[in-house]
Amino acid sequence: DAMVALPRKPNDAVELTADIVVSYNGTSWSPNCKRETRDLLPHFAQALTHQSMASLPAIFILMLLVRSCNSDDRLRPTKPLSPGDELISSNGLFALGFFSLQGSAANTYLGIWYHNISERTYVWVANRDSPIKSSLPGKLVVSNTSDLVLSDSDGRVLWATKTNNVTTTGSGSGGGATGAGAVLLDTGNFVLRSRNGTEIWQSYDEPTDTFLPGFKLWVNYKTHVAARIVAWKGPDDPSTGEFVLSGDTSTGLQILTWRGSSLYWRAGVWNGATAASFTKSFLSQMIDDGEVAYFTYNRADDSAPARSHWKLDHTGEVMFRVWVEGSSSSWVPLFERPGKWCLVYGACGPFGYCDVKGDVRECRCLDGFEPADGGGGSSKAGCVRKEAVRCGGNNYFLTLPAMKLPDKFVYLTNRSFEECAAGCDRNCSCTGYAYTNASDILLASKCFHWTGDLVDMVKADYTSDHLYLRLAGNGDNYARTNNKINGVHVVFKIVLPLIAFLLILTCIYIFCICKPRGIHQNNGALQVHLRPSQEVWDQSLEFSRITFEDIAAATNSFHETNMLGRGGFGKVYKVAYKMFTLRSKYKMQNCF
């Protein structure tokens, strides 16, 4: 033991499982070569500088600590991994060890998770279907056959790698081979290596529900074998679930999600691009060597979030998530499919497509088709042709841009666009075709033909393929219909604004012309235009002035016996003159 003044924060974790023990104020401290140990080493070194440099045992202990903590990402045959132990990747992003979940505390699993984040997130589980019972603690060792073996305290093997079973010389106290060892890489990949550094096995070859940067989701479409991502059974149950994601083993050109034996979601036909900027921070790639095709992704540069992954959730959702640090650090999904409604495989039925406009998704029929149920609202029923296509009859191909190409295609290579189109045209059972040509990849030119029903199509701003659909007729009816629709649109665009403008001008004119001028008074006199011998609506009159006193005298001071009635502007009186309604007449004369 060495007596050193070691400053510690009260909440620093301490585990008594290391080979080195430091006595501090009468308390034994044993760092387990974890991240907290590395954080404390600077404090330890600073404490030693205040001691006499003649304290060689303390310096020796510090050197052992540094040496030990430089190898905490490795599993060696001489020291098995036991409950409470962890391997930490050298960059501190990942940890490997034993864990239990809230919903199944009686079960223990060996897995990999993100280290030092507030939300424990697992990316790999070794014994997902064979948990360790809490009463039988387990351990992970490197065997003398260069395998990783997980067993419980009764010696029952719960999980093991399957290598070439090459026995290496020598054995340590742990019963394993001295030549082989395992390391947790900065990528989150747990790799088993032989003594000469050859990789014998890696966790990337046995993924669970998640894959990380650099992982290859591969498919061999010659042998019809593919890597599989299998969802958890539930949020707290890592056992094998019902959803599986893999490449299309028949063509290698699609990524599919299955729910049991039924297709649940389809990513769409690979159109030949080698790399797509999924975001500005990440690049995805699809590589095809003529036998094996694989999908992978990586960070575009060091500015991209360090923690990201693709995950197949237990609900069937395929998600791409990044960890965003901040006041409320959390996982942020940048991609989620299929979600609810019509992005689920075949949700719109034959010849129907999912029209995506922002957050709005609805099923529609392709041009030339109508709902099979007559508009009854059953999207699964799909659509039927308005006019049947007959062999030998007139037909043409309608271009449908920005479409996710339908499933169940025939993939043809070494075709030009003209050859692809002519081949479909000659075969009257060919429903449609599509063509892609990316010159920077192997097998760049791709021709697709469809026969029978077209299923699982999407139209959205993120889809870019052109589908050429066979319809009956020569295209004139469609062109006339389109022209008529376009003509109506033009009329509405021109006539409606013009009508609105004329209405506004009319209102302004009426307002200005018909603005009441009021009844002008001049020196207490009321000016009214009349002559006893002429009609009131004669506009060629010469007008005289009548005073208020004259009117009062003519109506006997507005006596009720002279009142003829009431109008909208007041009482009407008869006078000794040929009379009219003063206010009404004056108002009308000014408006017209």
Per-residue pLDDT tens over the stretch 436-482: 875 444 446 789 999 999 999 999 988 889 999 999 998 665 544 44
Q: Is the pLDDT of residue 531 over 50?
A: no
Mean pLDDT of 40-59: 51
Structure tokens at 57: 């045992």
With contact defined as beta carbons under 8 Å apart, do 465 and 407 qualify? no
Q: Is the pLDDT of residue 317 over 90?
A: yes
With contact defined as beta carbons under 8 Å apart, do 205 and 191 qualify? no
Give pLDDT tens digits for 148-157.
999 999 999 9
Cα–Cα distances in Å, from 386 out to 182, 351, 365, 383, 440?
A: 64, 12, 11, 9, 41
Pairing of strands 217-220, 199-202: unpaired
Structure tokens at 142: 């490197």
**CATH domain 388-478 topology:** Hepatocyte Growth Factor (3.50.4)
Whether a cis peptide bond, with omega within 30° of 0, leads into 338 is yes
Q: Is the pLDDT of residue 423 over 80?
A: yes
40-44, 134-138, 471-475, 528-532: segment of lowest average pLDDT? 528-532
With contact defined as beta carbons under 8 Å apart, do 283 and 237 qualify? no
Q: Residue 586's Cα: distance from chain center in Å?
A: 73
Specify the CATH number of the domain 207-339: 2.90.10
Note the pLDDT of residue 592: 33
pLDDT tier for residue 129 given thresholds of 50, 70 and 90 = very high
The Cα 242–Cα 314 span in angstroms is: 8
Total residue count of the chain as it appears in this document: 592
The Cα 130–Cα 234 span in angstroms is: 16
Q: Is the pLDDT of residue 263 over 50?
A: yes
pLDDT tier for residue 260 given thresholds of 50, 70 and 90 = very high
pLDDT tier for residue 486 given thresholds of 50, 70 and 90 = very low
Pairing of strands 457-459, 352-357: parallel
589 or 497, which is more confident? 497
Note the pLDDT of residue 332: 95
Cα–Cα distances in Å, from 74 out to 24, 94, 182, 259?
A: 28, 13, 6, 38
Q: Is the pLDDT of residue 303 over 60?
A: yes
SS (H, E, C) 22-84: EEECCEEECCCCCHHHHHHHHHHHHHHHCCCCCCHHHHHHHHHHHHHHCCCCEEECCECECCC
Q: Of 118-122, 164-168, 173-177, 574-578, where does the model show the most confidence?
A: 118-122
Residue with tokens 């008529």: 484
pLDDT tier for residue 11 given thresholds of 50, 70 and 90 = very low
Mean pLDDT of 547-561: 77
Give pLDDT tens digits for 366-412.
999 999 988 766 678 899 999 999 988 899 999 999 999 999 999 99
Residue with tokens 């841009």: 401
Note the pLDDT of residue 24: 43
Q: Is the pLDDT of residue 85 over 60?
A: yes
The Cα 523–Cα 517 span in angstroms is: 18
Q: Is the pLDDT of residue 12 over 90?
A: no
Note the pLDDT of residue 476: 61
519 or 235, which is more confident? 235
118-122, 343-347, 381-385, 554-558: segment of lowest average pLDDT? 554-558
DSSP-derived 3-state class of residue 11: coil
414 or 114, which is more confident? 114
Burial per residue of 85-107, b for 16 or more beta-carbon CB atoms within 10 angstroms, e otherwise: bbbbbeeebbbbbbbbbeebeeb
Which segments of 163-224 does DSSP mark as H helices, in order? Answer: none
Judge whether 73-160+180-204 and 207-339 match in fold.
Answer: yes
Mean pLDDT of 529-550: 49
pLDDT tier for residue 268 given thresholds of 50, 70 and 90 = confident
The Cα 366–Cα 380 span in angstroms is: 14
pLDDT tier for residue 46 given thresholds of 50, 70 and 90 = low
Cα–Cα distances in Å, from 314 out to 129, 267, 322, 341?
A: 15, 18, 19, 18
pLDDT tier for residue 203 given thresholds of 50, 70 and 90 = very high
160: Cβ contacts below 8 Å, ≥ 6 apart: 143, 147, 148, 149, 150
With contact defined as beta carbons under 8 Å apart, do 432 and 454 qualify? yes
Q: Residue 266's Cα: distance from chain center in Å?
A: 14
pLDDT tier for residue 551 given thresholds of 50, 70 and 90 = confident
H/E run at residue 192: strand 190-193
Mean pLDDT of 123-152: 93
Burial per residue of 113-146, b for 16 or more beta-carbon CB atoms within 10 angstroms, e otherwise: bbbeeeeeebbbbbbbeebbeeeeebbbbbbbbb
64-78, 375-389, 493-507: segment of lowest average pLDDT? 64-78
Nearest C-alpha neighbor of 310 from the set 325, 292, 328, 298: 298
SS (H, E, C) 479-540: HHHHHHHHHHHHHHHHHHHHHHHHHHHHHHHHHHHCCCCCCCEECCEEECCCCCCCCCCCCC
138-142, 383-387, 528-532: segment of lowest average pLDDT? 528-532
Nearest C-alpha neighbor of 113 from the set 102, 129, 99, 133: 99
| Domain ranges, ordered by start, for the chain | 73-160+180-204, 207-339, 388-478
Q: For the chain, what percent of residues have pLDDT higher than 70?
A: 70
Mean pLDDT of 548-566: 77
Structure tokens at 220: 């061999």
Note the pLDDT of residue 231: 98
Nearest C-alpha neighbor of 139 from the set 108, 115, 170, 163: 108
The Cα 33–Cα 37 span in angstroms is: 6
pLDDT tier for residue 522 given thresholds of 50, 70 and 90 = very low
455 or 552, which is more confident? 455
Q: Residue 271's Cα: distance from chain center in Å?
A: 20
212 or 30, which is more confident? 212
CATH number assigned to the domain with residue range 73-160+180-204, chosen from the 4 options 3.30.450.60, 1.10.3720.10, 2.90.10.10, 2.60.120.1270: 2.90.10.10
With contact defined as beta carbons under 8 Å apart, do 107 and 132 qualify? yes
Note the pLDDT of residue 380: 80
In the predicted model, what is the mean pLDDT of the chain?
Answer: 78
**Complete DSSP assignment for 441-468:** STT-EEEEEEES---SEEE-TT--EEEE
Q: Is the pLDDT of residue 70 over 70?
A: no
Note the pLDDT of residue 6: 43
pLDDT tier for residue 172 given thresholds of 50, 70 and 90 = very low
Residue with tokens 């000014």: 590
The Cα 211–Cα 433 span in angstroms is: 34
